[in-house]
Amino acid sequence: MERRNFIAGLSAIGLVSVLPHYAHSENIINSKIKPKMLKAGDTVGVVAPGTAVSDPEDLMRAKEALDYFGLKMKLGRSVAAGSGYKSRTIAERTEDLHAMFKDKEVNAVFCIRGGYGCSQLLDRLDFDLIKKNPKIFLGYSDITALHLAIHQMTGLVTFHGPVLLSGFSSWTETYFRKALFSSAPIGEIANPTIKNNFRVIHPLRTIKSGKASGMLTGGNLSLISSLMGTPFEIDTKDKVLFIEDVGEEPYRIDRMLTQLKLAKKLLDVKGVVFGECKDCNYEGLQSSRAWDYSLGEIIDSIFSELKVPVFSGLTIGHTSDQATLPLGVDVEMDADKCVLNILENAVYE
Domains and CATH numbers, the chain: 30-168 (3.40.50.10740), 185-342 (3.50.30.60)
Among 23-27, 105-109, 118-122, 252-256, which stretch is predicted with the lowest mean pLDDT?
23-27
**Least confident stretch, 3-7, 73-77, 322-326:** 3-7
Is position 78 annotated as part of the catalytic site?
no
Residue of 149, 162, 177, 133 lying closest to 35 (CA atoms): 133
Q: Averaged over 337-341, what is the pLDDT?
A: 98
Q: Which of 25, 78, 87, 141 is catalytic?
A: 141
Three-state SS for 43? Answer: strand
Q: Is the pLDDT of residue 32 over 80?
A: yes
Return the C-alpha torsion angle 49, 312, 242, 308, nearest 10.
Answer: -160
Q: One of 151, 160, 202, 318 is an active-site residue; which one?
A: 318
> Predicted confidence band at 282 (pLDDT cuts at 50, 70, 90)?
low
The pTM is what? 0.90
- Residue 269: closest CA among 242, 244, 305, 239: 239
244 is catalytic: yes
Residue 99: the pLDDT is 98
- The set of residues, in sequence order, having a beta carbon less than 8 Å from that of 22 and lying 6+ positions away, is 122, 123, 125, 127, 149, 153, 231, 232
The confidence band for 25, taking pLDDT boundaries of 50, 70 and 90, is very low
Average pLDDT over residues 192-213: 90
- The reported pLDDT for the residue numbered 222 is 96
Helix (H) or strand (E) run with residue 259 in it: helix 250-262
Residue 255 near residue 224 (C-beta atoms within 8 A): no
Question: Active-site residue 318, yes or no?
Answer: yes
**For residue 175, which of 161, 163, 165, 164 has the smallest C-alpha distance?**
161
Q: Which of 92, 233, 244, 332 is catalytic?
A: 244
